[in-house]
Amino acid sequence: MLRDSFPTRTSAQVEVVDVTREVDAIVGASGLAGGLANIAAPHCTCALYVNENESGLVHDVLRVVRELAFREGYRHDRIDDNAAAHVAASLIGSALTLPVEDGRLKLGTWQRVMLLELDGPRSRTILVTVLGG
Position 105 pLDDT exceeds 90 = yes
Give the model's pLDDT for residue 133. Answer: 76
The listed CATH number (2.40.50.100, 2.60.40.10, 3.30.470.20, 2.60.120.460) that belongs to domain 2-132: 2.60.120.460
Distance of CA 9 to the CA centre of its chain: 12
What does the alpha-carbon distance between residue 92 and residue 76 come to, in Å, rounded to a whole number?
19
The pTM assigned to this predicted structure is 0.96
Element (H, E) at 98: strand 95-101
What does the alpha-carbon distance between residue 94 and residue 110 come to, in Å, rounded to a whole number?
21
The letter for the amino acid at 23 is V
Say if CB 22 and CB 4 are below 8 A apart.
no
Query: What count of Cα atoms within 13 Å lies in the side-chain half-sphere of residue 40?
Result: 10
Tell me the average pLDDT across 109-124: 98
Q: For the chain, what is the mean pLDDT?
A: 97
What are the tens digits of pLDDT across the range 18-62? Answer: 999 999 999 999 999 999 999 999 999 999 999 999 999 999 999
